[in-house]
Amino acid sequence: MSESIEKLLKYEKSWKYVFHGSLENLSILEPRQAYLYIDWKLEKDWRPAVFATPYSWVAIFRSLINEFNTDWDSGSGFGINDWVLFFAASRNLLESARNKIGKIYILEKRNFTDFEWTQCRCYKRVTPILIDRSDLRGFAGKYWSDRVLLNTLFFWFEKKSKSSTITLR
């Protein structure tokens, strides 16, 4: 397992930290407005916050799978189903991710509230204790395999570490 992944999993195992994945270079994370589509219309989701996750794999996914520099309609998602994390992305997002280097911001958990499944929120500015880099070169073939289903790519991660009670498939 790569040194970077080992480091993230060590922080995750301590349960003292949460993670934020992004392409941006930030020294401080500020609350931002989240949006979602409801009936094909973009609506505000919650109040502005810094969103994070207790799961390092979710932050890695979020740092790499996004619509930045893609040419056509895209879709992605993640969540927990039957206590197992799942990840999905359209083929163009995965291809685009192969050329990206994401950032994983490690944040103190005590600053966050409203824990719900894969996310939590902080309603004030937060300074990361550490910023780690992520890219697909560290994961492709070694840490995930892909299968195409209806032109959507689903990832089944198999975690080799004992650092989490959630199994990634």
Is 103 inside any structural domain?
A: yes
The amino acid sitting at 11 is: Y
- Counting residues of the chain whose pLDDT is more than 90, the rounded percentage is 34
Q: What is the pLDDT of residues 82-119, one digit of tens each?
A: 887 877 877 788 778 877 888 999 999 999 999 998 99
Question: How far apart (Å, rounded) are the C-alpha atoms in residues 122 and 34?
Answer: 13
> What average pLDDT does the structure give for the chain?
77
In the predicted model, is pLDDT for residue 11 greater than 90? yes
**Residue 9 β-bridge partners:** none
The pLDDT assigned to 21 comes to 93
Is 169 inside any structural domain?
A: no
Is 62 inside any structural domain?
A: yes
Report how many domains make up the chain.
1
Is 164 inside any structural domain?
A: no
Is 148 inside any structural domain?
A: yes
Is 153 inside any structural domain?
A: yes
Strand ranges of the sheet holding 76-81, from the earlier edge strand across to the other edge: 76-81, 84-90, 152-157, 144-149
Is 163 inside any structural domain?
A: no
Is 20 inside any structural domain?
A: yes
Q: Which domain holds residue 67?
A: 3-157
